Amino acid sequence: MKININDQNSYGQINPNLHGQFIEFLGNCIDEGIWVGKDSKIPNIDGMRKGTVDALKKLAPPVVRWPGGCYADTYHWRDGIGPQKDRPISFNENFGTYQRDRHSFGTDEFMEFCELIGAQPWFNINMLSASVQEMKDWMEYCNRSEKTSLSNQRKDNGHAEPYAVKYWGIGNEVWGGGGSMTPEMYADKYREYASAMPTFQKSIFDQNPIYKIASGPDGNKPIERVKWTKDFLKAFSRYRQPGINAMDLHFYNWNIEHESDTPTDFGEDDWYRVINGTRELDQIINQQADLIKEGLQNIPQPESSLDHRLDRIDLVVGEWGNWHRTAFTAKPALKQQVTMRDAISTALMLDILQKNSDKVTMACVAQTINVLNALILTEGDQTILTPNYDVFMMYKAHRGNSALKIQTNQDQKNVYTFASKKDGEIILDVINANLNDQVKLTVELNREIESISKDFLQSDRPTDFNSSDNPDLIRMQQTEVKDFSKGEITLELSPASVNVFHIKTID
């Protein structure tokens, strides 16, 4: 296989927010995964599991979405503030969680968590079982700098300065558990919530710092996702539009039709079925970007220059990742192991997001800890980093870079590439998704090469995973690449491997 990379042939910038995370009160994601309590024997920082905090601090995820997901639709933020002993106890039925919720990890704890790991927060409001006023009050509690009853309450709870939360999701999966709404129903309800949102501007001439995210379509429904976006934007085009900054598409790489295929026990056909399932995300992103563009073009010009005409809506992917059949019956809820199959799928989907950096501005893997496509699993006092964690660490180098177009002179089945550049360095991802075959790759560059290093992830068996007994069975490794000439590299790629090359060039 041969590819050609010209570092002048760049297009979109890779928004670091494409490497976002998602945590929800689901199973042991937050309780046990993050929150263990201040009196726990498990090492913690103000009640938060130190192993989790340390791992995510190193990863430095740009954004974290919370409190859901489906949980957001029943979450009342006041339950999670104030002294721990005074917080109510409710019952969480979210996706089979079926456990009591003491609301120990609320707004202030989440914000401390974001500060500890260096992430921006993305709050999802309760549109289903709360009210416009409850949303307004939550935003006031988080962001108001002037002295009001709510900002004073935040101060009494330990944080005098406003949190300045930028990202606010208005509803979650409203086509399903978020209300089983039609696009027209949601458009009407969205208008109310978006219009009532405080701006926290100091004058009418200041830019609104709030980024409003609408619930987008179900990416796993090929017919519905097209009709949903069309109908929503058509309804939105009637009369005046409130602000909307982005639409939140959700897509899961479903692996739920084959009972014999489990996260850690699968055959060759199962391997390729799941790997190939990632490709749909690329089609969906391009499809939705075109639908949004078309919908915006159909919005009429306002009669007055004082009226706003909606002319841009970003596309974000608020939930994505592998979802295996056994997760439905797992205890804790939706917990599944992570093998090299998942790591390769995760790398492929990250590359799809980065490849479409001119169309997608933010994305959050579902979920960070103990749920579905996790980066971290916990067992008692152990914090186990899955192969997905290593993939995200390997891909950190792409954040903020310019995406590069790659010319493929000779195609190779099941080999996928992506490249970006920044400050005289090209970052090249090469995923060999062949289960058994080694691949030889020739890379031609338009510049001379100074040095090459390689980060790679692989294992002896595709069903290998990290566990409490062997937490480092699959770990990223690093090496130097010596086999290159002035502008050409010959690379040997192991089967079932994720490879990231750091190529320093000479101007």
Residues linked to residue 420 through DSSP beta bridges, in sequence order: 403, 427
The residue type found at 5 is: I
- Closest-CA residue to 97 (of 283, 370, 313, 361): 370
- Closest-CA residue to 116 (of 155, 60, 161, 159): 60
DSSP codes, 108-154: HHHHHHHHHHT-EEEEE---SSS-HHHHHHHHHHHH--S--HHHHHH
What whole-number distance in Å separates Cα of residue 298 and Cα of residue 290?
13
- Closest-CA residue to 20 (of 119, 166, 116): 119
How far are the Cα atoms of 31, 64, 317, 329 from residue 94, in angstroms, in the given order? 13, 19, 21, 13
The residue type found at 137 is: D
- Ordered strands of the 425-432 beta sheet: 477-480, 448-457, 497-506, 425-432, 415-422, 402-410, 2-13, 439-445, 488-493
pLDDT of residue 379: 97
Instruction: List residues with catalytic annotation.
Output: 173, 319
Residue 62 has φ and ψ, to the nearest 5°, of: -65, -35
What whole-number distance in Å separates Cα of residue 30 and Cα of residue 327?
17
Helix (H/G/I), strand (E/B), else coil: 469: coil
- Cβ neighbours of 350 (radius 10 Å): 26
Residues linked to residue 491 through DSSP beta bridges, in sequence order: 441
pLDDT of residue 351: 98
- Closest-CA residue to 226 (of 294, 278, 296, 312): 294
How far are the Cα atoms of 48, 59, 118 from residue 112, in angstroms, in the given order? 10, 17, 10
pLDDT of residue 201: 87
The structure tokens 């005098």 sit at 160
Structure tokens at 387: 């192969």
Q: Please name each of the domains of the chain with its CATH number.
A: 15-399 (3.20.20.80), 406-506 (2.60.40.1180)
Residues linked to residue 407 through DSSP beta bridges, in sequence order: 4
Q: What is the pLDDT along the chain (507 residues), one digit of tens a residue?
A: 899 999 999 998 999 999 999 999 999 999 999 999 999 999 999 999 999 999 999 999 999 999 999 999 999 999 999 999 999 999 999 888 999 999 999 999 999 999 999 999 999 999 999 999 999 999 999 999 999 999 999 999 999 999 999 999 999 999 999 999 999 999 999 999 999 999 998 887 788 899 999 999 999 999 999 999 999 999 999 998 899 999 999 999 999 999 999 999 999 999 999 999 999 999 999 999 999 999 999 999 988 888 888 899 999 999 999 999 999 999 999 999 999 999 999 999 999 999 999 999 999 999 999 999 999 999 999 999 999 999 999 999 999 999 999 998 767 789 999 999 999 999 999 999 999 999 999 999 999 999 999 999 999 999 999 999 999 999 999 999 988 888 899 999 999 999 999 999 998
- The 8-class DSSP code of residue 474 comes to S
Helix (H/G/I), strand (E/B), else coil: 200: coil
- 147: which residues sit within 8 A by CB, 6+ positions away? none
What whole-number distance in Å separates Cα of residue 500 and Cα of residue 134?
46
Three-state secondary structure string covering 18-84: HHEEECCCCCCCCECCCECCCCCCCCEECCEEHHHHHHHHHHCCCEEEECCCHHHHHCCHHHHCCCH
- CA angle 448/452/454 to nearest 5° reads 150
pLDDT of residue 131: 97
What whole-number distance in Å separates Cα of residue 439 and Cα of residue 433?
10
Structure tokens at 243: 């602000």
* Positive/negative CA dihedral, 48, 54, 55, 61: positive
7 touches 428 (CB < 8 A)? no
Longest CA pairwise span in the chain (Å)? 68
